[in-house]
């Protein structure tokens, strides 16, 4: 392909993008950020609720324009997580409950958010933010949980290890029930009749986990939405240990 008698190679394309003002990864700088920076991009994340704690924030900024391109947020970890005994057997599952909680809080941090402004997506900023953190982490152990991990594998590309999480029994029961009705998880969103016929089972599904128990007595549409999301995009866990 030629343009103005110039062959378009990756190098000339990048040069033309730079000359035209389009952002490239070389235009992005990383630095410590603020809660205000996170909140300015929080609306772009698929999880609408903010993490319970904001421990550290790293910002990606476009040198050319000074605009915030992305943020990474770390948080204190939840005390219960099925993948930890798989990823680090014997590390966080030994001793009394207070001892386990103390060690989790002292030795583990969670990458709870990686958010990239739409205008800067596709440049590799998410991978670079994660790599920057795990190269200089606050604790020996780092984890991340993502529902979109299989679709956007930047956590693995940055050097974290994927951990296979066995399907929770409540999800398996609901999936089996849908198959008995010859239905798919998406049908929970599109079929009011299916939601009505499975209302009892959906409320049992919500009650079976602390993360959804608050939905148990609420509108069935809200439970169905969470259940469908869980079955369509199962949670993936990623871990990293600094030696």
Q: What are 2's two structure tokens? A: 């030629």
Measured distance CA(13)–CA(1) in Å, rounded: 11
pLDDT averaged over the chain?
Answer: 89
User: pTM surpassing 0.85?
Assistant: no
Residues 139 and 47 in one domain: yes
For the residues 92-118, what does the mean pLDDT come to?
95
> Is residue 5 in a domain?
no
pLDDT of the residue at 21: 62
For the residues 55-71, what does the mean pLDDT come to?
96
pLDDT of the residue at 80: 87
Report the CATH number that the domain containing residue 28 is assigned in CATH.
3.40.630.30
Question: Looking at the DSSP assignment, which residues form a beta bridge with residue 75?
Answer: 110
Residues 48 and 113 in one domain: yes
Instruction: Look at strands 108-116 and 68-75 and give their pairing.
Output: antiparallel
Residues 86 and 176 in one domain: no
pLDDT of the residue at 100: 95
> Is residue 75 in a domain?
yes
pLDDT digits (tens, 9 = 90+) for 131-183: 999 999 999 999 999 876 566 789 999 999 999 888 889 999 999 999 999 99
Angle, CA 103 vertex, CA 100 and CA 105 arms, to 5°: 110
Residues 105 and 146 in one domain: yes
**Domain total for the chain?**
2
Q: How many CB atoms are closer than 10 A to CB 184?
A: 14
Backbone angles phi, psi at 6, to 5 degrees: -120, 130
Of the residues 116, 145, 164, which one is the last residue of a structural domain? 164
Specify whether the CB–CB gap between 56 and 111 falls below 8 A.
Answer: no
Residue 5 pLDDT class (50, 70, 90 cuts):
very low
Expressed as residue numbers, the domain containing 195 is 169-232
pLDDT of the residue at 1: 38
């Amino acid at each position: 392909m030629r343009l103005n008698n110039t062959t378009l190679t990756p190098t000339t394309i990048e040069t033309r993008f730079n000359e035209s003002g389009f952002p490239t990864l070389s235009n992005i700088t990383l630095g410590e950020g603020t809660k205000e920076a996170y909140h300015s991009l929080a609306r772009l994340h698929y999880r609408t609720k903010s993490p319970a704690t904001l421990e550290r924030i790293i910002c990606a900024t476009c040198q050319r324009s000074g605009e915030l391109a992305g943020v990474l947020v770390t948080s204190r970890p939840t005390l219960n997580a099925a993948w930890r005994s798989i990823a680090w057997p014997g590390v966080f599952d030994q001793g009394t409950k207070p001892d386990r909680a103390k060690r989790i809080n002292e030795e583990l941090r969670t990458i709870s958010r990686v958010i990239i402004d739409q205008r800067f997506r596709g440049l590799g900023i998410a991978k670079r933010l994660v790599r920057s953190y795990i190269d200089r982490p606050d604790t020996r152990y780092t984890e991340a949980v993502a529902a979109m991990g299989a679709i956007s594998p930047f956590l693995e590309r940055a050097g974290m290890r994927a951990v296979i999480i066995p399907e929770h029994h409540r999800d398996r029961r609901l999936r089996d029930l849908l198959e008995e009705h010859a239905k798919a998880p998406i049908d929970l969103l599109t079929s009011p009749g299916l939601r009505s016929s499975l209302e009892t089972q959906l409320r049992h599904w919500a009650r079976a986990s602390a993360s959804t128990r608050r939905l148990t007595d609420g509108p069935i549409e809200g439970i169905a939405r969470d259940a469908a999301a869980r079955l369509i995009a199962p949670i993936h866990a990623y871990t990293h240990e600094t030696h």
